[in-house]
Each structure stands twice: as structure tokens, then as C-alpha cells.
Structure 1
Amino acid sequence: MAAASSSSATEEELTLTVKWSGKEYTVRVCGDDSVAELKRRICELTNVLPKRQKLLYPKIGNKLSDDAVLLSSLPLKSSLKMTMIGTIEEDIIVDPVDSPEVIDDFEIGQDEAVDIKDKEVNKQKLKRRIDQYKIELRTPCRPGKKLLVLDIDYTLFDHRSTAENPLQLMRPYLHEFLTAAYAEYDIVIWSATSMKWIELKMGQLGVLNSSNYKITALLDHLAMITVQSDSHRIFDCKPLGLIWAHFPQFYNPKNTIMFDDLRRNFVMNPQNGLTIKPFRKAHANRDTDQELVKLTQYLLAIAELDDLSSLDHNNWQSFTEDNAKRRRHA
């Protein structure tokens, strides 16, 4: 009985009232959501980024400052009102370089990744995100094309270094890579930052107005979900199921691949993720980084396959070499 009541508590929907800037907002969350998820919901309504939010609630103290805390563990009541202190990004003259850096300081094992993917609570979170998040297409999906989902920070761009011109921080061969990939793949950019920052940086790099390729859609941090690992770490990830659910006639696990420098970002779809070498210290590495050149060869080599999810993307470099040898012999 205790287990059953605990389960119902985590699945129970909470309707909270948040006061901010003289207005009240109704926020719907579930007990199995974390404080990070609550902040994400508030961000959707107010445009105050989660990192800018300070939540005040009677008799809870500073527990709402810990993003990893599950809401089911807090004495929240729908009848009480929560106050938020925070400023929208337009009112702050600051670059994301000033924000705390996300460091991949833990690894998710293969067995643990499968466990996270298969947990019913995470499937329900994904289902709610599918209902809540709307993907706006910049370019129509193309029948017969596979899907390439790309991270930004440390994947396409060194966001921590400084430069007078953002192009100096762009990963080498980015436009050549995107042009070649576009022949076989629709391209989606998915970053754990705000949409405004994604549009700004991709615009500065010339990615959004290229005549050689098109970006199908941009996804931001609001599209992510929060999951908990067996070791009790709580973190955000990028569930590809969100895209598949919105465009089932075009994309699925068999024709999708995602590049990200953080392995945990594709924990909900481990068979579709490729961990790219981080592009850091752009000024020092700009002349030697060949990652996108090599990955172009890999993407084109596997584009002819029917099922990308059957590949072990951890061994992508050896696949490229073997494929090149086979073609030379042929």
C-alpha cells in the first residue's frame, strides 16, 4: 500500500500559482518532475530563463534552489502561491560565456542508459513534453532524407572563448560539413540554451541563411526533459522521441543520428547518439581540428544504410576507415 500511495504521489498533477512582476501564472507539473522542470515550465510562461529564477515558497527554505529535488518530496499545495524573482534576458546585458559551464563529469553506462530509456516515469515525461512543446519548421521536411540532430556548444562552436568576431570561434569546416550532410540529411539544431541565443549565434555564423543548405528546425532547452540515473544523479537530456512524434512520417529511430559532446544528452536514445570530440580553445585548435571533415565521411558512408540505430556510433572512425578500404578494393 505504501508503494502504491508513493507512486500516485509522484504521478499526481500539481497546479501551482507563481507570482512574478505583478502577474500570476498557472503552472502545471507532476510530482515526478524536478525543480528544474518546474523552472522550465515557468520559463515557457514568463521568458525568464531557469538560471535567472529564484523561487520563494512558504516554509520550504532554500530547497527550491536545488534543481535536482523532486517536487513529490516537497510540501507543495495548489492553494498556496509561489513568488519568483527573476529578470528576462532582454533586460540583462550578458553573454552566455558568463554562465556556469556544464561539464560532463560523469559517464552513463550502457546498461544504465537502457534503464533510463525504459523507465515508465521517463516515458511519461516525454509524452508530456510532446504535448507541450511545439516545433516550428524553418524548412519543410524532405521525404526520403535521414535526420541529423546537432548540438551547438563545443560541437559547432566554442562558446567559452572570446573573440571580436564569432566566426573565429566556429568549428573548422562547419559550412562544408553542413553542405555535404544536407544532401542526405535534414538538419535540426538542438541546444540546451535559449531560442534567442541559438538564433543569435547561428545567425552570426551564417548557418541560418546559407544558400547551400537549409536548417529544418531549431530546438532549445525547453524541449529537454529531466531524468534520474540509478546513481541518483538528476540531469537534463534531449529525447529524440519528441521529434519522431511530431514528424512520424519523416523521422524515426532507424534514420536519425545525433551529435553531441555530452553523452548523457542522448540517454533516452543511446543507439542514435554519437559523442563528438569537444571543440574547445578555438584559437589554439582552429588550424588542426579535423573532426567535421572525418564525420562528413562517416555520415555519407552510412547514409545508404536502412537502419542507423543498428550501428555502434562509438566506433564511427573505424567504420569510416573500413568503408574507405572496401571502396578502394571495389
Structure 2
Amino acid sequence: MATTATASASWEELTLKVKWIGNEYTVRVCADDTVGELKRRICELTNVLPLRQKLLYPKLGSKLNDDSLFLSQLPLNSSLKMTMIGTTEEDLLVDPVESPEILDDLELPKDEAVDIKDMEVNKLKLNRRIHHFKIELQNSCRQGKKLLVLDIDYTLFDHRSTAENPLQLMRPYLHEFLTSVYSEYDIMIWSATSMKWIKVKMEQLGVLDNPNYKITALLDHMAMITVQTSSRGVFDCKPLGLIWAKFPEFYNASNTIMFDDLRRNFVMNPQNGLTIKPFRKAHANRDSDQELVKLTQYLLAIAELDDLSNLEHNNWELFTEDNTKRRRH
């Protein structure tokens, strides 16, 4: 009973007041949310990105600077009023804010990876995201097509290098890749950045208006959730369950695959994730990178299968080699 009572308390909804440039906003969060999730909710109301926010409240001191801290660890109540300092991207005449680069990616034991997606607290966070987030379709979902979800940074684009023309930082064969797989897959782009900069990047690369393929939807950092792990603490990820819940007649675990250079991003759906080799140092690697050529072969080879979640996507190169040998014989 004590455990149940504790769990119920951690999921209790809190209503907080946040002041920003003379306006007061009502923010609803749960005790099992993190400070980072609180900032994401504030962003929904103000369009100030979490990384641009500084939250002030005398009684909490510097604790509001720790995005991984759970709200249940803070003395919060519904009468609390805090101040937010921050500026929207539209009001800044600088480049978009960059997240700290994640060099040490998540490596979880298989058993723990399964536990994460099955944890009740993480399921509840996903359900809340499904309830609050709306996916705006760029183009209609197509009946009978599988779904490919693509990251941007280091997957399609080297966002850390500099160049006079963004096309110099685009991963080789990007348009050929998207054109080929579009015959079998609907394509969604999901990045941990803001929607404004997703659109800017995709427009610069000529992805949004290409006549040979269409992008079904764009998802940004607001669609992500914060999950808890016993060994790696708290971090954000991209739960595919959000897409499946929004479009159940089109997409599910059996017909979806996600490419990302960070394994942590598909920790809620490890059976659907493929860790792509990061595309870094574009100027040095542009002439030798063949990742999208090889992955085109893999996606077309598995498109005929009924259930993609039964595959070991980490062994995708072996699958492609075996499939090539079978065709030769």
C-alpha cells in the first residue's frame, strides 16, 4: 500500500505559475517530471526554448538549473510563482542555440532496455505527451506503406562543421536515398531541436520541396519525453508510441524503423531503432561516406517483410550481405 501511495503522489499533477515579460502563465506538470520537462511545458506556452530559459525562485536557489532533477525533489506547491528569463528564437539575431554534444552514447544491457519501456512512470509520461502534442502533417499518410523516422544532426547533416553553403554539410546521397525508400516508406523527420530550425535545415537542403519524394511530418524536441533509468539516470528520448497513437490505422511497431546516431533516442522502442554511423567532419568524409547507399539496400530488402521489429537492426550490414548473396544464387 505504501508503494502505491508513493507512486500516486509522484504522479500527482501540479499547477505552477510562471511570469515572463509581464505575462503570467499557468503550467501543469507532474511530480515525476524533471526540471527539463517543466521547461519544455513552458516552451509550449512561450516559444522560449528550454536551453534559453533561466528559472528564478529564491527558495530553490540553483536547483532549477539542473534539468535532470525531479520536481518531486523540490518543495513545490500550486501557490508557487517563479520567474522565467529568456528570449524566443524569432527575437534573436544569432545562430540557433546548440545542445551540448553527446559523445558518450547510451549502452544499456538488453534487460534494462526492456525494463525502461515497460516502466509505469515512463508509460505515463508517454501518455501525457500523446495527449498534449499534436503532429502536423506535411503530406498525407499512405495506406500500406511502412514508416521511416529520421534524425537530422549527424544522421543527414553535419551540424557542427562550418561551410559557406549548407549543401556542403549534407550527407552524401541524401536525395537519392529518400527518393528510393519513398516507394516503400512514409518518411518523418524527428530532431531534438526546435521546429523553426528543423524547417530551416530541411529547406536549405531541398528536402521539403523535392519533387521525387514527400515528407509526411516533422517532429521537434517538444515531442520527446524524459525517461528514468537505473544505470544512466535521466535523459530525453523519442518515443515512437507517440506516432503510433496518433496514426494507429497507418503505423505500428511492426512496420516502423527509426535511424538515429544516438541509441538513447529509441530506448522506448529498442526493437525499432537502427544506430546509424555519425556523419562528422563533412569536408574530410564527404567523398567516402557510403552509409545511405548501403542503408537504401537494407530498407528495400526488408520492406517485403511483415514485421520489422523481429529484426536485429544492429546487424543490418550482415542482413544486406546475406540478401545480396541469395540473389546471386
TM range (shorter): over 0.9
Q: Which residue of 2 aligns with 1:145?
A: 145
Contact 1:198/1:220, CA 8 A, preserved across alignment = yes
Whole-angstrom CA distance in 1 between matches of 2:116 and 2:217: 26
Q: Match for residue 136 of structure 2?
A: 136
Which residue type is aligned with residue 217 of structure 1? A
Q: Provide the C-alpha distance between the structure 1 equivalents of 2:235 and 2:13, rounded to a whole number of angstroms.
A: 21
Q: Which runs of structure 2 are paired with 1:99-248 in the superposition (5 Å)? A: 99-248=99-248
Q: What amino acid does structure 1 have at the position aligned with 2:233?
A: R
Aligned to 2:76: 76
Partner SS for 1:215: coil
State how far apart, in whole Å, the 2-side matches of 1:103 and 1:244 are.
30
* 2:299 corresponding residue in structure 1: 299
Q: CA deviation at 1:94?
A: 2.6
1:101: how far off?
Answer: 2.0
Cα distance between partner residues in 1 of 2:132 and 2:72? 21
Q: Provide TM-score, normalisation by structure 1.
A: 0.98
Q: 8 Å contact 1:301–1:323 — kept in the other structure?
A: yes
In the alignment, structure 2 segments of 5+ residues that lack a partner are: none
Matched, 1:30 2:30: yes
Corresponding residue for 2:288? 288
- Residue 305 of structure 1 and its aligned partner are, at CA, apart by 0.2
User: Is residue 61 from structure 1 mapped to residue 61 from structure 2 by the alignment?
Assistant: yes
For 2:274, what is the secondary structure of its paired residue?
strand
Q: C-alpha offsets along residues 276-320 of structure 1, whole Å, 9 cap, x if unaligned?
A: 000000000000000000000000000000000000001000000
Amino acid at match of 1:238: K
User: What secondary structure, in the 3-state scheme, does the structure 2 residue paired with 1:304 have?
Assistant: coil
Q: Is the 8 A contact 1:108 1:263 kept in 2?
A: no
Alignment check: 8 A CA contact 2:237 2:264 kept:
yes
Distance of 1:255 and 1:80 partners within structure 2: 45
Once the two structures are aligned, what percentage of the paired residues are identical? Answer: 79
Structure 1 unaligned runs (5+)? none
Please give the alpha-carbon distance, in whole angstroms, between the structure 2 residues aligned to 1:70 and 1:6. Answer: 14
1:99 Cα shift?
A: 4.6
User: What is the one-letter code of the residue matched to 1:290?
Assistant: Q
Matched AA of 1:191: S
Asked whether the equivalents of residues 266 and 272 of structure 2 are also in contact (C-alpha less than 8 Å), the reply is yes
SS in 2 for 1:234: strand
Corresponding residue pairs, total: 329
Residue 106 of structure 2 contacts residue 263 of structure 2 at CA under 8 Å; is this kept in 1? no
Alignment RMSD (CA, Å)? 1.1
Q: Distance in 2 between matches of 1:118 and 1:185?
A: 28
